[in-house]
């Protein structure tokens, strides 16, 4: 029988109603112990504390003193980690995950809690992301909303700009995506959604500037991994016409292609004396040259 957590209720009807909210498991037992200990103690004035609703507001709890208890920041974070694992109603479980997610990533001017980025943060983040995905599945975003989102994002600096991933992060991503394959349906949707997409001149210029002087160096190990991952995978565009079929290049584009080709580093074949691009050289010349 759960007694401590329901001490705020006086009538038998209310007691039955509240007892139906929680599972009788170890998490509820831990929660009860923390609440009872907190109710029977007096914290020193120098100890930072936060008020906690024993029965959460989203589950029908009130702001009455009988439903409030003083917890340290660590205790407050821990009880909110317990609550999603205690609730019976899926709606309550969802609201408790949201509450934990907000607690671990935000604070107001009067709070001195530590913003956590540990295991609990990652767990609540995944749960909230799953709820959000389910909520928005099948919804169509209007052009007006897209424009608002675009305007809001303009000028915003990525929090990861200039940062490089640690080997541990890379390993986690590798393990998380190992064995996963993208369905043909998802591939078709992506292609269709970007069918008429074109970069603005401003974006093209930024991409060009950012790539100037960069040389892609791919190790033999990486090449082998890419080759192995692509083996047996059907091309998403197999049997489909190219998206630029029948579209002639503009004179400006032709001039750009011509200039790019003129400035490209070329290698001369010792057998046929032709000066060609490195990719053509490795494929048709050198040791592969027919005039060797």
- Is 111 or 75 the better-scoring residue by pLDDT? 75
Percent residues over pLDDT 70 in the chain? 93
How confident is the model over 268-281, as a mean pLDDT? Answer: 86
Q: pLDDT-derived band of residue 34, with 50, 70 and 90 as boundaries?
A: very high
At residue 287, the pLDDT reads 86
CB-CB contact of 116 with 50 (8 Å): no
CB-CB contact of 52 with 71 (8 Å): yes
How confident is the model over 219-239, as a mean pLDDT? Answer: 81
Report which of 90, 157, 95 is spatially closest to residue 124, judged by C-alpha positions: 95
pLDDT at 76 over 50: yes
How confident is the model over 208-232, as a mean pLDDT? Answer: 83
pLDDT digits 0-9 by tens, 41-66: 998 888 889 999 999 998 888 899 98
In angstroms and rounded to an integer, the radius of gyration of the C-alpha atoms of the chain is 30
Give phi and psi for 52, each to the nearest 5.
-125, 135
How confident is the model over 28-49, as a mean pLDDT? Answer: 91
Would you list the DSSP string of 81-125?
HHGGGTB-SHHHHHHHHHHHHHHHH---TT-------SHHHHHHH
Considering the chain, what is the average pLDDT of its residues?
Answer: 82
Q: pLDDT-derived band of residue 18, with 50, 70 and 90 as boundaries?
A: low
pLDDT at 282 over 50: yes
pLDDT at 162 over 80: no
How confident is the model over 69-92, as a mean pLDDT? Answer: 92
Instruction: Give the separation between CA 269 and CA 271, rounded to whole angstroms.
Output: 5
pLDDT digits 0-9 by tens, 122-154: 888 889 888 888 888 888 888 888 889 888 888
Q: pLDDT-derived band of residue 2, with 50, 70 and 90 as boundaries?
A: very low
pLDDT at 254 over 70: yes
At residue 19, the pLDDT reads 60
At residue 259, the pLDDT reads 85
pLDDT at 15 over 70: no
pLDDT at 210 over 90: no
Q: pLDDT-derived band of residue 276, with 50, 70 and 90 as boundaries?
A: confident
- What is the number of other CB atoms lying within 10 angstroms of the CB of residue 286? 14
Provide the 3-class DSSP secondary structure of residue 9: coil
At residue 160, the pLDDT reads 79
pLDDT at 30 over 90: yes
Tell me the range of 103-112, 173-182, 199-208 where mean pLDDT is highest: 199-208
pLDDT at 12 over 50: no
At residue 212, the pLDDT reads 82
């Amino acid at each position: 029988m759960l007694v401590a957590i329901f001490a705020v209720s006086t009538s038998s009807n209310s007691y039955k109603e509240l007892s139906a909210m929680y599972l009788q498991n170890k998490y509820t037992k831990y929660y009860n112990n923390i609440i009872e200990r907190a109710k029977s103690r007096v914290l020193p004035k120098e100890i930072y504390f936060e008020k906690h609703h024993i029965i959460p507001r989203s589950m029908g709890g009130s702001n009455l003193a009988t439903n409030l208890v003083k917890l340290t920041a660590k205790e407050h974070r821990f009880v909110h980690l317990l609550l999603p694992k205690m609730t019976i109603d899926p709606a309550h479980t969802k609201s408790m995950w949201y509450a934990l997610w907000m607690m671990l990533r935000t604070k107001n001017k009067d709070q001195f809690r530590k913003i956590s980025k540990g295991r609990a943060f990652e767990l609540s983040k995944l749960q909230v992301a799953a709820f959000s995905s389910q909520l928005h599945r099948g919804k169509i975003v209007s052009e007006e909303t897209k424009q608002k989102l675009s305007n809001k994002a303009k000028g915003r600096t990525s929090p990861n700009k200039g940062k490089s991933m640690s080997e541990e992060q890379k390993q986690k991503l590798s393990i998380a995506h190992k064995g996963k394959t993208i369905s043909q349906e998802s591939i078709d949707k992506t292609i269709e959604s970007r069918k008429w997409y074109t970069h603005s001149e401003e974006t093209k210029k930024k991409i060009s500037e950012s790539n100037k002087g960069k040389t892609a160096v791919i190790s033999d190990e990486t090449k082998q991994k890419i080759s192995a991952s692509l083996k047996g995978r059907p091309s998403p565009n197999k049997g489909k016409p190219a998206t630029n079929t029948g579209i002639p290049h503009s004179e400006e584009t032709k001039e750009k292609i011509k200039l790019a080709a003129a400035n490209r580093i070329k290698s001369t074949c010792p057998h046929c004396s032709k000066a060609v691009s490195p990719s053509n050289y490795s494929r048709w010349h050198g040791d592969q040259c027919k005039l060797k």
